[in-house]
Amino acid sequence: MGLRLRMGKREGVARGETFDVVIVGAGPAGLSAAMYSARFLLKTLVVSQDVGGQLNLTNLVEDYPGLGRISASDLVARFKSHAEEFKAKVLTGVRVSDIRREDGIFRITGSQGFDVKAKAVIIAVGSERRKLRVPGEEEFQGRGVSYCSICDGPLFKGRKSVAVVGGGDSALEGALLLSGYVGKVYLIHRRDKFRAKPYYVEQVRARSNIELVLNSVVERIEGSETVERVIVRNKITGERIPLSVDGIFIEIGFEPMREWFEKLGLEVDERGYIKVDEWMRTNIEGIFAAGDCTSAWIGFRQVVTAAAMGAVAAYSAYNYLSEKGLYQPKVELLTR
Ligand code: NAP
C-alpha cells in the first residue's frame, strides 16, 4: 500500500516493503553484491542515485579479467543486467539519508519518499570527489570548474586552453583527452613525480600541447561570467603566475562520506573510510560495506577489487541471515 516508487519502466517498490538485503549504491561493488545476494535467493534491492558509480567517470576499461577491452558504459550495463537476471531490483534516482534499526529490522529512508525495510544492509556508496577548497572554486562550479574531464571535456571543444589539476590516473587521462579538444592543456601538479601509471605519464610527456606545471598549486580561480584564469604558485620559488584558461578540471581524487557514516553510527578509520573486517562486516551487526567507501585495499581501487568486495559482502549478509534464522528462500525468485 502507499506510494509506489517508479523503478525503470516496469517495476516498483512499495513504501514499507521488506527486503532480505538492501544495497545502497550501484557501482561495481553494489551491483556485484546484488548479483550474489539474489543468487543466494535473498530478496534484494539496490537503491542509488545513479548506476555505475566511478565507472561513469571513465571511458574504457581494459583490466577487468575476461573482458579484454570494454567501454565503461557497456560494463555498467552488464553489471546491472547480470544482477537483474537473478531478480535483484535496481532503483535509481534516490539518495538514501538514514538507516536505523527499529524492532530488529533496518528502516531505510531517503529522497522521493523512499522508505523500505531490510533484514541486512550493504553500503557500497563509493566516495566523493575531493575539492581544492580555493577561492573561486565553488563560485565557478559549472561555469568553467569541473571535476570530470570525461563528462565535461567535450563542452570545451575548440577552446584555447584549460587547466587540469592532479597527478593521478584521472588527471593524466583527463589531460590526454582534453588535449584532443583544446589548443593547450596546463597540467598542474603539486609535486614533480606523478602517481599515475607510467603508461599515462609517457603519453602526457609526448603530447606537444600539454604543458606540465609542476611543484605548483592553484591558489585561486578567477573570471567574470565564467573562468578566465587561475593563479598558480610555485611551491619551490614562491612565484605566482596567472594562467589564462577557459576552464579548470580538478581531478585530485576522492574522499569518503565520513560525516554521513558517523551519523549512521558506523566506525570509520582515521581517513573516514568505513572500517570493515575481511568479511566486509562493519561495527554494526547486520550492516556490511563494500568497495571504495571501505577501509579495505586502500591504494588499489579497481573495478575487480570493488566487485570482489561486493561478492564477499553478499556472502556475509547471507551467512548472517542464515545464522539469525532470518532467511526464508523464495525459490520462485529464480524462475526464469
Ligand atoms: P588519486 O590516485 O588519489 O590521485 C590524486 C592526485 O591528486 C594525486 O596526484 C595527488 O597528489 C593530487 N592531490 C590530492 N589532493 C590534492 C590537493 N588538495 N591539491 C592538489 N593536488 C592534490 O586519484 P585519481 O587519479 O582520481 O584516481 C583514483 C583511483 O582511480 C586510482 O586508484 C586510480 O588508479 C583509479 N583510476 C584508474 C584509471 C585507469 O586505470 N584508467 C583512470 C582513473 C582513475 P600527490 O600525488 O602529491 O598525492
**So where are the chain's domains?**
18-128+254-323, 145-250
Q: What percent of the chain has pLDDT over 90?
A: 85
* 151: helix, strand or coil: helix
Average pLDDT over residues 299-323: 95
Has residue 311 got a pLDDT over 70?
A: yes
Segment among 143-157, 175-189, 190-204 with least mean pLDDT: 143-157
Statement: residue 240 has pLDDT above 80:
yes
At residue 82, the pLDDT reads 98
- What is the position in ligand 1's atom list of the atom closest to the CA of 173? 42
Give the per-residue pLDDT at 43: 96
Residues 6 or more apart from 289 whose CB is under 8 A from it? 122, 123, 124, 266, 274, 276, 280, 282, 313
Report pLDDT digits (tens) over 56-112. Answer: 877 778 889 999 999 999 999 999 999 999 999 999 999 999 999 998 899 999 999
DSSP letter at 147 equals S
Q: What is the mean predicted confidence (pLDDT) over 176-199?
A: 97
Find the 75 Cα to ligand 1 centroid distance in Å.
22
Return the pLDDT at 329.
65
> Is the pLDDT reported for residue 212 higher than 50?
yes
CATH fold match for the domains 18-128+254-323 and 145-250: yes
- State the cell numbers at 250: 580538478
Residue 304: pLDDT over 60: yes
Classify domain 18-128+254-323 at the CATH topology level. Answer: FAD/NAD(P)-binding domain (3.50.50)
Which residue out of 152, 169, 246, 292 is catalytically annotated?
152
- Residue 6: is its pLDDT beyond 70? no
Burial state string for 250-260 with b = 16 or more CB within 10 A and e = fewer than 16: bbbbbebbbeb
Q: Are 229 and 136 in contact (CB under 8 A)?
A: no
pLDDT at 296 over 50: yes
Closest CA to 22 of 39, 6, 38, 4: 38
Note the helical H segments in the chain: 28-39, 72-85, 149-152, 169-178, 198-206, 258-263, 303-323
Stretch 122-140: mean pLDDT: 95
Between helices 28-39 and 72-85, what is the axis angle to 10°?
20
Catalytic residue list contains 246: no
Residue 160 DSSP class? S
State yes or no: pLDDT of 177 exceeds 60: yes
Domain 145-250 grouped into CATH 3.50.50.60: yes
H or E stretch covering 247: strand 247-250
Give the residue-averaged pLDDT of 156-184. Answer: 97
User: Which pLDDT score is estimated for 300?
Assistant: 84
Tell me the C-alpha distance between 313 and 248, whole Å: 38
* Confidence (pLDDT) at 330: 57
Q: What is the mean pLDDT of the chain?
A: 93
**Identified catalytic residue from 50, 74, 98, 151:** 151
Give the mean pLDDT of 118-144.
Answer: 95
Residues with Cβ < 8 Å from 9, sequence gap 6 or more?
none
The ligand 1 site (C-beta within 6 Å) comprises 58, 130, 132, 165-171, 173, 190-191, 195, 251-253, 301
String of DSSP letters for 167-234 = SSHHHHHHHHHHTTTSSEEEEE-SSSS--S-HHHHHHHHH-TTEEEE-SEEEEEEEESSSEEEEEEEE
Active site residue 293: no
Q: Which residue has the higher pLDDT, 230 or 335?
A: 230
Which of 56, 75, 195 has the most ligand 1 atoms within 8 A of CB, as the residue to mutate? Answer: 195
